[in-house]
Structure 1
Amino acid sequence: MTEHERRVKAEQRERFDFAVIASWLQPGEHVLDLGCGDGRLLRYLDETRDVTGYGVEIDPESVLACIRNGVDVIQMNIESGLLGFEDHSFDRAIISQALQTMHTTERILTEMLRVAAEAVVSFPNFAYRSNRAAIAAGHMPVSEDLPYDWFDTPNVRFFTIVDFEDLCGRLGIEIRERLAFDEAGREVADDSNLNGSLAFYRLGRRS
């Protein structure tokens, strides 16, 4: 796959990801987007759901891109927690296809549900059938949702739908809704850990 083809496919997948997340939000919600990159998700949510909120990003160039995109952004390292944000100050905290690039997974999930009534998480499922086939053939997988070669990937955590749900259980996090889709964008109902390439979750604090 050429770099141009990779970029086009990534943009198409990104728009799909944004649309799924937007479908869970109500107009006018106050949201926090963690690892927001250049702010495109927040701009999309503002345009489609009239949300307010902030992006959080550590990379200086991405912070500047957020500003150019008209997105309110705070430069900070979310690995260290969300100090400065009060409890229950947002309707939703979102981390879109970035949790796998983080080291402090448990802290991030816990902090999301401290500052927001609900967390929205999306991530690529490492146990997807084509990823399993690649590993069985002796290679690290490269796919629509894991588009990087092993030597240049930003991902530091490779986990599955089952792994993620096990972690939620250990942390006392309630899974309120899950959606899984294959690489063609079709919703998966049967054995999502095998047939789902991309997973989306609505999470809440267990009462």
Structure 2
Amino acid sequence: MSAVLDAYETLAQRADFRAIARWVEARASVLDLGCGDGALLEVLVRELDVRGYGIEIDDADVAACERRGVNVIQQNLEDGLRLFEAQSFDFAILSQTLQTIHRTAEILRETVRVAREAIVSFPNFGYWPHRLAVLRGRMPVSESLPYQWHNTPNVRVLTIRDFEALASEVGFTIVERVVLKDTAPISWGANWRGSLAVYRVRQA
């Protein structure tokens, strides 16, 4: 029972985890790109019996994955996914990782090369408090963008409209989208009211 409770507590920690877990099929094969400490994969393995593998570069996060019993490969995503053959996985996940990589379009193309579908989440820079912070002359700090400008791991900032334009450019079909304001889904004014976006995409 405690293991199940731990899993649900982990889901509660990140709003995008809940959306991702709803889209991943039971017993699917999953590649989590930039998997961090392995929390999402641990939940997916435990709750959906997926065959999961993570890619992570940070030493401390790799060690955390190993403590959780998560399969992890220590590798820099910027080097690509040449280790994996085409369509090796059912799902490839970029959970709040997209904004931390330089080779954005190339990595997105790689996700749908190695997997049938990709799930991508990212903080929306178009969220109205972020816009207001910039108008006031400061870079935004919020729950979805919790770092100061000088210590952030993010190398990109993007809006919902930016992602959808790039998705079209790289040849993606958007299958589903959930936009969250904090933890609650919203249905209108997504690009200025949403703090976090989650997409399910596949090759067009």
Q: Is the TM-score greater than 0.5? A: yes
CA distance in 2, matches of 1:197, 1:122: 11
Kindly report which structure 2 residues correspond to 1:1-207, keeping only aligned pairs within 5 A, or say none.
14-183=13-182, 185-206=183-204
User: Is the 2:94–2:119 contact (alpha carbons within 8 Å) kept by the matching residues of 1?
Assistant: yes
Deviation at 1:12, TM superposition (A): 8.0
> CA 1:67–1:12 in structure 2 vs 1: closer, same or farther (change >3 Å)?
closer
Cα deviation code 1:135-154 (max 9, x no counterpart):
11111111110011111111
Q: Which runs of 4+ in 1 moved over 4 A?
A: none
Q: Which amino acid aligns with 1:119?
A: A
Which moves more between the two structures, 103-112 or 44-53?
A: 44-53
What is the CA-CA distance between 1:16 and the residue it aligns to?
2.3
Indicate if the aligned counterparts of 2:118 and 2:201 stay in contact, CA closer than 8 A.
yes
In 1: Cα distance, 2:12 partner to 2:130 partner: 17
Per the normalisation by structure 2, the TM-score is 0.92
SS in 2 for 1:94: strand
Q: CA offsets per residue over residues 91-113 of structure 1, 9 Å max, x none?
A: 00001011101101011100000
Contact 1:123 1:199 in 2 (8 A): yes
Residue matched to 1:6: none
After superposition, the C-alpha distances for 1:123-168 in whole angstroms (9 at most, x for unaligned) are 0000001101111111111111001111111110001000010011
Q: What's the secondary structure of 1:190's corresponding residue? A: coil
Aligned residues: 195
Distance 1:143 1:169 in 2: 29
Q: Which amino acid aligns with 2:188?
A: D
For residues 142 and 62 of structure 1, the distance between their equivalents in structure 2, rounded to whole angstroms, comes to 23
The letter of the residue matching 2:203 is: R
Mean Cα deviation higher: 96-105 or 11-20: 11-20
CA pair 136-104 structure 1, distance change in 2 beyond 3 A: same
How big is the shift at 1:17?
2.0
**Mapped partners of 2:200, 2:121: distance in 1:** 9
RMSD: 1.3
Alpha-carbon distance in 2 for matches of 1:196, 1:120:
18
Distance 1:148 1:12, change over 3 A: farther
Other structure's SS at 2:168 match: helix
Q: Which runs of 5+ in 1 are unaligned?
A: 1-10
Percent identical across equivalent pairs? 52
Instruction: Check whether the contact 1:18–1:44 (CA below 8 A) recurs between aligned residues.
Output: no
Give the deviation of 1:13 after TM superposition: 6.6
Q: Which amino acid aligns with 2:202?
A: G
The alpha-carbon deviation at position 80 of structure 1 amounts to 1.4
